[in-house]
Structure 1
Amino acid sequence: MIKLINTLGLCLLLSGAVAQTTKNPAAVYLKSPEVADGGQVTFRFLAPNAKQVMLIMDDGKQRMMLKDTAGVWAFSAHFEPDIYRYTFAVDGNVLPDPNNPLIKPLFKRALGQSLAHVPGPKTLSWELNDVPHGTLVQHFYKSGIVGDQRDIRVYTPPGYDPKRKEPYPVLYLFHGITDETSAWTTAGRENIIMDNLIAQGKTKPMIIVNTLGYGAPEMLEPGAGAYSKEALKKNEELFVASFLKEVIPMTERLYNTKADKKYRAVAGLSMGGGQSLDVGLNNPDLFSYVGGFSAAVILLDPDYTKAFPKLDASINNKLKLVWIAIGKDDFLIESNRKYKSWLESKNIKFSYTETEGVHTYQVWRRYLTTFSQLLFKD
């Protein structure tokens, strides 16, 4: 649990604080990141008065940046085609790249994480192609269960027909801790991935719903004890209640889908991965497909018999797919292996995959690409 707190603390660090950059308040434009042919990427940050500037990437490692005579700090290296989260640590203060408009917002924080896109071949599922595109819509609502104003974001596939005779299936896709509802589109590129797969005939046209993953959003306020056992328990219980009683009924009221498990799948990453396993395995009469991407099962009750009190082999006849995947160098790997062993002891049928990678959207985009192709097929 200490390792989890330290790692999640790094995620919060990436959310940033206000950094001191220069005594000259005039705006200065730098090209950052500069992506050259072949994948050479240069990150730049203007801070002539700073003593040290570090680049923090998805892997959490801090890379030393060097300052030139104009006070511009830079770091350059080769990166494989992908999309990378990064921030700058300026004398200990962390903030996104002020010269980069691509950003992933963070929940309850003014600053987010910048995104560096290293283009690759059009065969990569997240690369923009000349194909029909779906639509993204944001809905706001008052949660009577949580007691706040919140939102869901909804992807509808190209050519979505609200009057189509056959209802559309829905994938409820959850984000991770410190993220908010836009994460799966800004960093995850879910809409582009789905547009490409649908155009290629690799996945069925489906609706995707991204909902806010906090049942107790106050737990992320400074000094609130975000990772205490009590806070995590309250967060999970209220999240699940709101999701089942508010989000699903609202989706089925607003969109052409059907209140039938045949049309429902649930998946998520990190905290959302633990939540999707919680929701899906504890409610097999509501869902047919369940996916956990780098699932933070350690945020649930460590006694899995309490977290999944009714789970037994009978679920094998109710769920079409339980799909779990995680990177080999992910800090959650051991807890996922432990959870895998526990599921095996209960004779639960599931797919389990370990891939290369850490706790990052580089693996989660690939997981979504694979998982979505397994859904809603007879």
Structure 2
Amino acid sequence: MPVAHPQPASTRRLRQGLTVSLAAGLTVAAGALAAPAATAAPASNLGPKVVQTNQAPTGNSVTFRYQAPAGVESVQIYGEWWFSKAESVTCQGCGDARNGGQWQPGDILADPWRALPMEKGADGVWTFTTPLPSGTFRYAFTHDCTSPTASGCTLHPDPANPLEVLPHDEATGALLSRVYVPNSKRFPTYDNDYQAPVAANKAGKLEQRWYDSPLSTSPAGKHDVVVYLPHGYDPKRSTPYPTLYLSHGGGGNATDWTVEGVAHQILENAVRDGAAQSMVIVSTDFNGLPNGNQGYVDELRNNVIPFVEQNYNVSTRAVDRAFGGLSAGGARALTLLYDNTDLVGYHAAWGAAGGAVTPTQEQIDRLKAVPGGIHVGTGLQDWLANIAPNSVARTEAWRAAGIEVTEHNVDGVHVWDIWRQMLNDYLRTVAFRTTTTSLDVDTTPAGNSHRVKVTATAEVDSVTVSDRAPSGKVDFYAGDKYLGSAPIRNGVAQFKGTVSGGLDQPVTARYQGDSLYNTSESAAANAG
């Protein structure tokens, strides 16, 4: 499960119905956290600043500037930028633990965090500078902390770099600020452009919403979700939007996929690239719900999904819903997939904790009937509760049982860097991309017994509701013999031609797919 960082109640605020616009930076509306200033430092001089250095090892550095309250004698920055060679991570918490200035090509983000000293300038502002590779990094400040791992120390988010949404007063988890570092052309590190904030005029918005929940014990009788509405969201659009539901891991809350996972930014970049369609994202909270994994699924079925479908212009069909969960949320994803398969059309479990490696025959039958798709993945050095080997073994068991699954494993441990990659791959390869192809074939003699006229008509449909139908071409085959291709027009591709030697094998239509849709095919008996 993700590391649960200490969080004082003083850093949490209830934000009911909060709505913000997502700009390229992290500026939000009034009401965000603010820290008392010791001296009058200009606000423009505070917060993180990414500097293009064009110097090894990463080509970029970040300078953090923080105004501590009066009376603080030392300030430490608690950051996630520790790196390791993948091969050195042989157990949970093992690794090189090198800082950004020691980054090396091929490094993965390591598990341990560290608190490093900041320096106080003549203006009273505390600063810290470190080279960093490309990616999204989290950090916070501590005051007068002597622990190298900030154990027992209070974490303070950056008041000059406020979060888009804040967890409620009873939520678990710490408030950690974040900064995005682009890739350097001169010293390339990671291809993490898919995480970058988009321009303000292309960004959607977030809403933190409360709904009635008879199951919830904390807060009693109600629960919260964070809803992302895509840029240009139209509550009256004739075609309703598909919905992606996400679950955090242990120690997290409903804000995790926004604050730490940058799910909204990952989607916006996929939409920009033409690799995903606009959708509504709902980040859920499994805390304070009884009956473990099944209790969370019951909450989805009985409370979360009805609330979302009553308040937003989203489809009410199960096939137009997708789900993804990480760690303990990945365990809930497996419960959803194994025993509640009907609730969503697309399933994903990333770094899943627990869950049977080998499903029952009844579960296998349900997995085979998933109408959309299944996506799984893990960091290959994720040794927490044997997550990596269990995930790989589980997927092998599924495939051996004839279940179709998309697997995306990468080098890495039990950290958000991995789950961001999982979500990005899910959006670009599986979620809401499934198509079906049907085929009708007519044949007639063409003057002699060795030639036939063939008319093959293929219909290509998206399984999921969408405002853009599948495009591209359909290839037609008779066995292994290529007959020709035809473009899709109004959902139909038709091949007409004369085939020498007759047709002794069924005709197959194979849709090639496009940027938004995956391939599909259909075979038909030859009608004469």
Q: How many residues align?
A: 344
User: Which shifted more, 165-174 or 69-78?
Assistant: 69-78
Query: 2:220 matched to 1:160?
Result: no
Candidates 233, 236, 256, aligned match of 2:293: 236
Equivalent in the alignment of 1:13 = 5
**Which amino acid is 1:40 matched to?**
S
CA contact (8 A) 2:378 2:391 kept: no
Query: 2:175 matched to 1:112?
Result: yes
Tell me by how many angstroms 1:109 deviates: 5.6
| Distance in 2 (alpha carbons) for counterparts of 1:43 and 1:260 | 47
Once the two structures are superposed, the pairs formed by residues 201-212 of structure 1 within 5 Å of their partners are 201-212=274-285
Query: 2:432 matched to 1:376?
Result: yes
Equivalent in the alignment of 2:408 = 353
1:66-113: per-residue Cα shift (whole Å, max 9, x none)?
656879765432101222112345234131244543347556369511
RMSD: 3.5
Structure 1: which 5+ runs fail to align?
Answer: 20-24, 217-232
Equivalent in the alignment of 1:62 = 114
Candidates 137, 160, 170, aligned match of 1:84: 137
Equivalent in the alignment of 1:223 = none
Tell me by how many angstroms 1:259 deviates: 2.9
Equivalent in the alignment of 1:22 = none
Query: 2:31 matched to 1:41?
Result: no
Candidates 137, 162, 169, aligned match of 2:207: 137
Report the 3-state secondary structure (helix = DSSP H, G, I; strand = E; otherwise coil) of the residue aligned with 1:362. Answer: helix
User: Which shifted more, 285-294 or 111-120?
Assistant: 111-120
| Distance in 2 (alpha carbons) for counterparts of 1:343 and 1:246 | 31
CA contact (8 A) 1:100 1:114 kept: no
Tell me by how many angstroms 1:18 deviates: 8.2
CA contact (8 A) 2:337 2:367 kept: no
Candidates 161, 164, 173, aligned match of 1:101: 161
Candidates 21, 46, 54, aligned match of 1:31: 46
User: Which shifted more, 79-88 or 104-113?
Assistant: 104-113
Judged with a 3 Å threshold, the aligned counterparts in structure 2 of structure 1 residues 15 and 309 are, in CA distance, closer, same or farther, namely farther
CA contact (8 A) 1:125 1:197 kept: no
Equivalent in the alignment of 1:261 = 318
1:3-23: per-residue Cα shift (whole Å, max 9, x none)?
x6xxx5xx233536889xxxx
Q: Percent identity?
A: 26
| Distance in 1 (alpha carbons) for counterparts of 2:367 and 2:157 | 47
Report the 3-state secondary structure (helix = DSSP H, G, I; strand = E; otherwise coil) of the residue aligned with 1:178. Answer: coil
Judged with a 3 Å threshold, the aligned counterparts in structure 2 of structure 1 residues 198 and 333 are, in CA distance, closer, same or farther, namely farther
Report the 3-state secondary structure (helix = DSSP H, G, I; strand = E; otherwise coil) of the residue aligned with 1:141. Answer: strand
Judged with a 3 Å threshold, the aligned counterparts in structure 2 of structure 1 residues 62 and 115 are, in CA distance, closer, same or farther, namely same
1:26-71: per-residue Cα shift (whole Å, max 9, x none)?
6245734343223212345659865784634263331532656879
| Distance in 1 (alpha carbons) for counterparts of 2:377 and 2:214 | 34
Tell me by how many angstroms 1:376 deviates: 1.5
Once the two structures are superposed, the pairs formed by residues 269-280 of structure 1 within 5 Å of their partners are 269-280=326-337
**Which amino acid is 1:128 matched to?**
V
User: Which shifted more, 126-135 or 245-254?
Assistant: 126-135
Tell me by how many angstroms 1:161 deviates: 3.1
| Distance in 1 (alpha carbons) for counterparts of 2:10 and 2:302 | 39
User: Which shifted more, 359-368 or 114-123?
Assistant: 114-123
Judged with a 3 Å threshold, the aligned counterparts in structure 2 of structure 1 residues 160 and 50 are, in CA distance, closer, same or farther, namely closer
| Distance in 2 (alpha carbons) for counterparts of 1:156 and 1:52 | 38
| Distance in 1 (alpha carbons) for counterparts of 2:46 and 2:261 | 24
Greater fraction strand: 2
| Distance in 2 (alpha carbons) for counterparts of 1:163 and 1:67 | 54
Equivalent in the alignment of 2:56 = none
Judged with a 3 Å threshold, the aligned counterparts in structure 2 of structure 1 residues 288 and 98 are, in CA distance, closer, same or farther, namely closer
Report the 3-state secondary structure (helix = DSSP H, G, I; strand = E; otherwise coil) of the residue aligned with 2:389. Answer: helix
Report the 3-state secondary structure (helix = DSSP H, G, I; strand = E; otherwise coil) of the residue aligned with 1:335. Answer: helix
CA contact (8 A) 2:257 2:283 kept: yes
Report the 3-state secondary structure (helix = DSSP H, G, I; strand = E; otherwise coil) of the residue aligned with 2:342. Answer: coil
Once the two structures are superposed, the pairs formed by residues 189-338 of structure 1 within 5 Å of their partners are 189-216=262-289, 234-295=291-352, 297-298=353-354, 310-332=362-384, 334-338=386-390
CA contact (8 A) 1:65 1:74 kept: no
Judged with a 3 Å threshold, the aligned counterparts in structure 2 of structure 1 residues 312 and 142 are, in CA distance, closer, same or farther, namely same
**Which amino acid is 2:380 matched to?**
K
| Distance in 2 (alpha carbons) for counterparts of 1:317 and 1:349 | 10
Tell me by how many angstroms 1:188 deviates: 2.4
Judged with a 3 Å threshold, the aligned counterparts in structure 2 of structure 1 residues 156 and 32 are, in CA distance, closer, same or farther, namely closer
| Distance in 2 (alpha carbons) for counterparts of 1:69 and 1:135 | 37
CA contact (8 A) 1:294 1:332 kept: no
TM-score of the two chains, using structure 1 as the length reference: 0.76
CA contact (8 A) 2:211 2:307 kept: no
Report the 3-state secondary structure (helix = DSSP H, G, I; strand = E; otherwise coil) of the residue aligned with 2:180. Answer: strand
| Distance in 2 (alpha carbons) for counterparts of 1:35 and 1:99 | 17
| Distance in 2 (alpha carbons) for counterparts of 1:189 and 1:328 | 22
| Distance in 2 (alpha carbons) for counterparts of 1:17 and 1:56 | 21
